[in-house]
Structure 1
Amino acid sequence: MDIRIGITHGGRELNVEIDDDAAADAAAALEAALSGDESVLWLNDRSGRRVGVPIDKLAFLELGPTGDRRIGFAAD
Structure 2
Amino acid sequence: MDVKIGIADVARELTVKTELAADEVVTTLASALDKGGLFELTDDKGRRVVVPAAKVAYVDLGAADERPVGFGAV
* CA displacement 1:26-60 (0-9 Å, x = unmatched): 221111112x2251000000010000010121110
DSSP-derived class of the 2:51 partner: strand
DSSP-derived class of the 1:62 partner: strand
Q: Percent identity?
A: 39
Q: Residues 1-76 of structure 1: matches in 2 within 5 Å?
A: 1-19=1-19, 22-23=20-21, 24-34=23-33, 36-65=34-63
Aligned length: 64
DSSP-derived class of the 2:35 partner: coil
Amino acid at match of 1:33: A
Amino acid at match of 1:4: K
DSSP-derived class of the 2:30 partner: helix
| Runs of 4+ displaced beyond 3 Å | none
When the two chains are superposed, the root-mean-square deviation of aligned CA atoms in Å is: 1.6
TM-score, normalised relative to structure 2: 0.76
TM-score, normalised relative to structure 1: 0.74
